[in-house]
C-alpha cells in the first residue's frame, strides 16, 4: 500500500521531530494543533498521551489510545479501516430486517448495560483493546439486539470513541488550519470560513510567481495560505500599518521549507507607499513636459494611518528575514522593493475586520499593478458595500463584485443521506475587483 510519490519528495509526507501536526481526535469531534517536540503530549478525554510515537510516520496515520501499565499510550493502527470501521453493507435479509426495527419498545432507564464502570476499568487496566471492550459491552447489553442496524452501528461508534479514541495525524494546510480555527476559535481568524478562504485565493489569482500584497490581521492565516500556493516562487508581502507589526504566528503551523519561507516578507505600509509614490513621481517627471496638476500626496501619509517608523535596518541590506516568531526582519531586499515600487503587486488580499475597507482600498490599491485583481474580506457586508460604492463612483476598478459564500456539508450513508443537522450560517463577505488605469 506504500505508494511512491509524485513530483513531491518522499519525506515531505512523513512527520519530522518538532514539526507541526493537526490532530483529528475521534473523527472530527475535536481538532488540536501540536508540535512534535520531545516531551509534547495531548489530552484525549482523561488520558494524557505522549506524542513520541507520532514522529517519523506518514501523515494520515491513525493512532488508538490504549491503556497499559504505564498509563495511556498512542498505538499506531496498521489497518485502521478494518479495525475501526465496518463496511455498511445492507444486503442480507437479516440486515434488511434489522433496519426496519424501530425504538417503540425501548425504554431508556439506564438498566440495559450489565457491565459496570468498574468492570470496564478492570479490562482497560489489563490492556484490553478497544475492540474487545466494545464487544464486551455489546454482549452485556440487554437492548442491543432490539435496536435497528443503524442504531447498533451508532452505539458501537459511540463506545469506541469513549473507550478507544482514535487520533488521526494530519498535515496542516491552509484549508485544515482554517477549518480547525473556525470551529474552535473563529474570532482569531475573523470568522473566515474555509470556503471563503479558498475563494479569496482564487479570486486574487494566487499562484507561482505572483507578487501578492497581503494585509493580514487574521493571525497569519492569509499570509500562510498565500505562501503555500506560491511554493517558493514569487513573493508574499504581509504588510502592517501600526508601529508594532501584528503577529503572523500561524505561519509556523505550516512546516514551510526554507525556499517557501524565504519568500514571505514583512514591510510596513508607509515604506511601500513611500517607495511607490517616489517611483511614480520619478516616472512622471521623466514623461511630463508641462507642469501636471499637483501630484497628490500618497493617501497613506499623515492622519489617515499611523505611520510606522522606518525599519531600523538599512533596506539595502541584502539579507531577508524568514518569519520566525519575533525575530522577523521588517524589510525586504532592494530588488524586491524596487520591483514592487515600479511594477506594482500583481494582486492584493485584505483580511482586516476592524479596519474600514474604503480607507484600506484608498491606501492600498495604488500599490497594485494595472489589471491586478484584489479581494477584501470582511465579516460584515455593509462596510464592503460602501467601499464598493466609492470604488464605482471614483472609477478605480472594474469587475466589482460583492459575494457571500455558502457551504453545506452532507451525511451520505445508505438510506440515511441528508444535509448535516448543523451548519455555519455565515463565512463572511468578499469584495473583489480588478484595478484599471485611467488614462
Partner 1 sequence: MLAVEASLRAQGERQIKEGDVVIVYERHDRMKAVIVARNGELQNRFGVFPHNEWIGKPFGCRVVGKKGGGFVFLLAPTPELWTLVLPHRTQILYVADISFVISFLELRPGSVMLECGTGSGSLTHSLARAVAPSGHVHTFDFHEQRALAAKQEFERNGVGHLVTVTMRDIQGQGFPEEFVGGQADAVFLDLPQPWLAIPSAASSLRCDGGICSFSPCIEQVQRTCEALTIPEFTDIRTFEVLVRTYEVRQEFLQTTLQCGTQFASDCLFKPPPQKRQRPQKGRKRETRPVIAKPYPDTKGHTGYLTFARRST
Site for partner 1 in 2-21 (CB under 8 A): 2-8, 13
Using an 8 Å Cβ cutoff, are 134 and 183 in contact?
no
Q: Which three cell numbers stand for residue 45?
A: 478525554
Q: Where are the beta strands (DSSP E) in 141-233?
A: 166-170, 210-216
Residue ranges in 316-345 that form contacts with partner 1 under rule CB under 8 A: 339, 342-344
Residue ranges in 158-197 that form contacts with partner 1 under rule CB under 8 A: 168, 171, 173-175, 194-195, 197
Full strand arrangement of the beta sheet holding 429-435: 264-265, 234-239, 210-216, 347-351, 373-378, 429-435
Query: In terms of Cα–Cα distance, which of 385, 422, 427 is closest to 406?
Result: 427
- Position among 72, 124, 147, 229 found at the interface with partner 1 (CB under 8 A): 229
Q: Judged by CB, which is closer to partner 1: 12, or 48?
A: 12
Beta strand 429-435 with 373-378 is antiparallel
Query: Is residue 403 involved in binding partner 1 (CB under 8 A)?
Result: yes
- Position among 92, 104, 327, 410 found at the interface with partner 1 (CB under 8 A): 410
Longest dimension (CA), the chain: 96
CB of 334 to partner 1, least distance (A): 13
Residue ranges in 127-146 that form contacts with partner 1 under rule CB under 8 A: none
DSSP 8-state symbol, 222: H
Query: Is residue 214 involved in binding partner 1 (CB under 8 A)?
Result: no
Output the CA torsion 366→371→372→375 (10° steps): 90
- Position among 53, 186, 231, 353 found at the interface with partner 1 (CB under 8 A): 231
| Count of residues that bind partner 1 according to CB under 8 A | 89
Residue ranges in 42-101 that form contacts with partner 1 under rule CB under 8 A: 58-62, 79-82, 87-88
Using an 8 Å Cβ cutoff, are 77 and 84 in contact?
yes
CB of 165 to partner 1, least distance (A): 16
Residue 426 CB: number of other CB atoms within 10 A? 14
Query: Is residue 400 involved in binding partner 1 (CB under 8 A)?
Result: yes
Query: Is residue 373 involved in binding partner 1 (CB under 8 A)?
Result: yes
* Selected range binding partner 1 among 183-191, 226-234, 267-275, 322-330, rule: CB under 8 A: 226-234
Query: In terms of Cα–Cα distance, which of 109, 95, 277, 255 is closest to 171?
Result: 255
Query: Is residue 398 involved in binding partner 1 (CB under 8 A)?
Result: yes
Amino acid at each position: 500500500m506504500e505508494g511512491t510519490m509524485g513530483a513531491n519528495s518522499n519525506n515531505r509526507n512523513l512527520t519530522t521531530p518538532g514539526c507541526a501536526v493537526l490532530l483529528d481526535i475521534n473523527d472530527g469531534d475535536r481538532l488540536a494543533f501540536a508540535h512534535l517536540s520531545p516531551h509534547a503530549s495531548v489530552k484525549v478525554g482523561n488520558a494524557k498521551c505522549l506524542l513520541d510515537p507520532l514522529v517519523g510516520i506518514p501523515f494520515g496515520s491513525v493512532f488508538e489510545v490504549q491503556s497499559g501499565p504505564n498509563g495511556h499510550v498512542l498505538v499506531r493502527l496498521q489497518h485502521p479501516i478494518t479495525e475501526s470501521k465496518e463496511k455498511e453493507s445492507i444486503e442480507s435479509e437479516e440486515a434488511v430486517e434489522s433496519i426496519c426495527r424501530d425504538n417503540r419498545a425501548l425504554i431508556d432507564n439506564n438498566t440495559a448495560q450489565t457491565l459496570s464502570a468498574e468492570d470496564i476499568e478492570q479490562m482497560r487496566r489489563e490492556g484490553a483493546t478497544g475492540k474487545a471492550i466494545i464487544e464486551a459491552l455489546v454482549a452485556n447489553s440487554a437492548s442491543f439486539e432490539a435496536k435497528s442496524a443503524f442504531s447498533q452501528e451508532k452505539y458501537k461508534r459511540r463506545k469506541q470513541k469513549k473507550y478507544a479514541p482514535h487520533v488521526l495525524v494530519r498535515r496542516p494546510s491552509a484549508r485544515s488550519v482554517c477549518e480547525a480555527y473556525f470551529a474552535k476559535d473563529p474570532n482569531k481568524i475573523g470568522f473566515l470560513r474555509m470556503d471563503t478562504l479558498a475563494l479569496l485565493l482564487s479570486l486574487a489569482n494566487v499562484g507561482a510567481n505572483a507578487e501578492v500584497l497581503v494585509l493580514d490581521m487574521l493571525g497569519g492565516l492569509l499570509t500562510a495560505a498565500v505562501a503555500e500556493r506560491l511554493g517558493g516562487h514569487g513573493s508574499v508581502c504581509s504588510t502592517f500599518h501600526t508601529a508594532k507589526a501584528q503577529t503572523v504566528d500561524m505561519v509556523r503551523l505550516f512546516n514551510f521549507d526554507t525556499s517557501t519561507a524565504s519568500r514571505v516578507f514583512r514591510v510596513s505600509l508607509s515604506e511601500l507607499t513611500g517607495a511607490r509614490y517616489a517611483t511614480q513621481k520619478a516616472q512622471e517627471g521623466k514623461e511630463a513636459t508641462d507642469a501636471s496638476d499637483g501630484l497628490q500626496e500618497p493617501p497613506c501619509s499623515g492622519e489617515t494611518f499611523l505611520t510606522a517608523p522606518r525599519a531600523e535596518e538599512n533596506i539595502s541590506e541584502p539579507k531577508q528575514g524568514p518569519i520566525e516568531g519575533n525575530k522577523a526582519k521588517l524589510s525586504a531586499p532592494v530588488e524586491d522593493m524596487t520591483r514592487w515600487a515600479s511594477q506594482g503587486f500583481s494582486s492584493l488580499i485584505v483580511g482586516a475586520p476592524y479596519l474600514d475597507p474604503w480607507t484600506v482600498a484608498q491606501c492600498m490599491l495604488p500599490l497594485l499593478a494595472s489589471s491586478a485583481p484584489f479581494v477584501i474580506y470582511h465579516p460584515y457586508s455593509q462596510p464592503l458595500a460602501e467601499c464598493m460604492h466609492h470604488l464605482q463612483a471614483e472609477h478605480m476598478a472594474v469587475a466589482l463584485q460583492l459575494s457571500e459564500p455558502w457551504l453545506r456539508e452532507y451525511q451520505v450513508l445508505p438510506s440515511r443521506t441528508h444535509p448535516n443537522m448543523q451548519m455555519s450560517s455565515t463565512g463572511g463577505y468578499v469584495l473583489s475587483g480588478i484595478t484599471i488605469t485611467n488614462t
